[in-house]
Structure 1
Amino acid sequence: MNAHTDLIDRYFDAWNETDGERRRKLIAATWATDADYRDPLMAGSGHDGIDAMIRAVQERFAHHTFRRSTDVDGFGNRLRFSWALVTPDGEAIVKGSDFGVVDAHGRLQAVTGFLDQVPTGA
């Protein structure tokens, strides 16, 4: 496993952590303080904005989990990976691909997400 893979696995741990205190610790360990996340449906800036965004997704998709669906591909401070949002019974209902920039301290500076598959009517 490489440093980019470790970082993205922590990224998913944060997305899946429902305990607010543990989630904020994961965000602090994974994201730069001035980090930015953007996709077609939402955005979050800084640790507080990213936490609020994750919490909103968890409220909308209770008991669902995010899973990495590809290896993490990266060079220098750039990386990419794909993922799925999975229902409690294992069905992938949303799929996407994210592109990230890593800061000098090995934390995410920016993530741009693209939705590859969404449910009809979403």
Structure 2
Amino acid sequence: MNAHTALIDRYFDAWNETDAGRRRELISATWANDAAYVDPLLSGNGHDGIDAMIHAVHERFPHHTFRRTTEVDGFADRLRFSWELLTPSGASIVKGSDFGVVESDGRLQSVTGFLDEAPGAA
């Protein structure tokens, strides 16, 4: 497993973690202190903003999980991957692709997300 794949697997662990303390640990290990996330629906800055954003997703989609659907493709400090959001029964309801920039210490500096398939999206 390459470093980018391990980083993104930890990224999904953070998105799926419901225990607030453990989620904060994962965010700290995965994201730079001044990191930023943005997609068409959400944004978060720094560890507090990213944690609040993930918590809001858990409130809106209880017991749903994210999973990576492609290999992590990357070069230098850039990477990309695709994912889906699954209902508790395993049905995929949202799919997307994310693009990230990695800090020299191996943590994410930024992630920009795009929704590839979503209910009501045209």
TM-score higher than 0.5? yes
Secondary structure of 2:114's aligned partner: strand
Aligned residues: 121
Deviates more, 1:32-41 or 1:112-121: 112-121
Query: 2:113 is aligned with what amino acid?
Result: G
Name 1:5's counterpart in structure 2: 5
Report runs of 4+ in structure 1 exceeding 6 Å deviation: none
Give the secondary structure class of the aligned counterpart of 1:115.
strand
TM-score normalised per structure 2: 0.98
Structural mapping, 1:27-42, within 5 Å: 27-42=27-42
- Note if 1:18 corresponds to 2:18: yes
**Structure 2: segments with no counterpart, 5+ residues:** none
User: d(CA) in 2 for partners of 1:41 and 1:66?
Assistant: 16
Provide the TM-score with structure 1 as the length reference. Answer: 0.98
Write the distance in 2 (CA, Å) between the matches of 1:62 and 1:89.
12
Does structure 1 residue 47 correspond to structure 2 residue 47?
yes
Who is 1:119 aligned against?
Answer: 119
Aligned counterpart, 1:80: 80
* Unmatched segments (≥5 aa) in structure 1: none
CA distance in 2, matches of 1:113, 1:20: 23
Equivalent position amino acid for 1:38 in 2: V
Q: Aligned equivalents of 1:35 and 1:57: distance in 2?
A: 18
Whole-angstrom CA distance in 1 between matches of 2:25 and 2:112: 22
Who is 1:56 aligned against? 56
